[in-house]
Amino acid sequence: MSKTTHFTELGLVNTREMFKKAFADGYAIPAYNFNNMEQLQAIIMGCIESRSPVILQVSKGARQYANQTLLKYMAMGALEIIKESGSSIPVALHLDHGDSFELCKSCIETGFSSVMIDGSAWSFDENIVLTKKVVEYAHQHNVTVEGELGVLAGIEDEVSHEKSHYTKPEEVEEFVDKTGVDSLAISIGTSHGAYKFKLKPGESVPPLRFDILKEVEKKLPGFPIVLHGASSVLQEYVQIINQYGGNLEGAVGVPEDQLRRAAKSAVCKINIDSDGRLVVTAIIRKCFAEDPKNFDPRKYLGPAREDLKKLIIHKNRTVLGSADRY
Ligand code: G3H
Ligand code: 13P
Ligand code: ZN
């Protein structure tokens, strides 16, 4: 077994102070998922340039893909680059959608500063038991924990079905009290992936359930709330993908103005993965179509990384409001 590493050895921070500042100043911390070097470079360079705090997010699948040991050194490398550039932006390394105590523990042992335990598929009581167990272990190591209540709609769900999964505001206080979580992911109409809403011709995206968010805020004053499934599925990139041989007809996301409004409230962390995937896919497809002789990864991953960095800066500046904070 590899040696245990505490997140402070890597130069990381947990999310506590980040959220406190974001809450007080009315913005949200961006949580960007990454799986490889180019994505990590784009996130880091974009956040340095826009002077934004950042949560680097790794799913269970990403951890398997990239290798847990390599991930630790990638995070360390990212921190080193930030230092060399003279930037002081804080960085957390976070497990996204942890599904077991063992996975959370293992991430904490390899240097993660924050973990999510997603017990939302379990019953309310089972979710409490699992989440509490993770919190007790994590807090011994000063690692912060995100829990989840309510289920984000699957892409195949009908609208009527989606409604039954929204977070119940009457449950949040008991959940937070009994588990001791540091932040809470809630379901107010967002969902994962590139097909967030099934729209009939002429229909527009339904607004997020700000009424539920308001009720949650009343029950948990000053408590950091998290939004998953918050990609906007930028049509500019969907069009490039479709133009160059892809097929993402009907892909649609959460409008940016809705997210900006959420970021001004108790929402302190906004998760974005799909938007980054779309940018990378669009630019690689375009590169291949425009130059069929291109077989140098630097000449298609490089341009993809450049556009991804621009997307990160755009998100931080105009959607999350996290730019120019450090
Ligand atoms: O919410 C899930 C994230 O987008 C991560 O996705 O499990 O395919 O890495 P993944
Ligand atoms: P998107 O699929 O909307 O990017 O959501 C990502 C997410 O919630 C990661 O946990
Ligand atoms: Zn998620």
Residue-wise DSSP of 232-280 = ---HHHHHHHHHTT---TT-B---HHHHHHHHTTTEEEEEE-HHHHHHH
Which residue ranges have their beta carbon within 6 Å of ligand 2?
A: 33, 96-97, 192-193, 228-231, 271-275
> 218 alpha carbon to ligand 1 midpoint, in Å?
30
Q: Note whether 279 and 315 are within 8 A (CB).
A: no
Instruction: Check residue 154 and give its pLDDT.
Output: 58
Mean pLDDT of 241-269: 98
Cβ neighbourhood burial of 177 (10 Å; 0-12, 13-18, 19+): exposed
Cβ of 50 closer than 6 Å to ligand 1, yes or no, is: no
* pTM of the complete model: 0.96
Q: Is the pLDDT of residue 153 over 90?
A: no
Q: Is the pLDDT of residue 281 over 70?
A: yes
Instruction: Check residue 90 and give its pLDDT.
Output: 98
| 96 flagged as catalytic | yes
Closest ligand 2 atom to 231 CA: 3
> 58 alpha carbon to ligand 2 midpoint, in Å?
11
The DSSP code sequence of 3-49 is: PPB-GGGGT---SHHHHHHHHHHT--EEEEE--SHHHHHHHHHHHHH
Q: Is the pLDDT of residue 159 over 70?
A: no
Closest ligand 2 atom to 96 CA: 10
Instruction: Check residue 161 and give its pLDDT.
Output: 41
Cβ of 273 closer than 6 Å to ligand 1, yes or no, is: yes
Q: Is the pLDDT of residue 160 over 50?
A: no
Q: Is the pLDDT of residue 167 over 60?
A: yes
Q: Note whether 146 and 115 are within 8 A (CB).
A: yes
Mean pLDDT of 28-56: 98
Q: Is the pLDDT of residue 2 over 70?
A: no
Average pLDDT of every residue of the chain:
95
Q: Is the pLDDT of residue 163 over 50?
A: no
Mean pLDDT of 140-154: 92
Instruction: Check residue 192 and give its pLDDT.
Output: 95
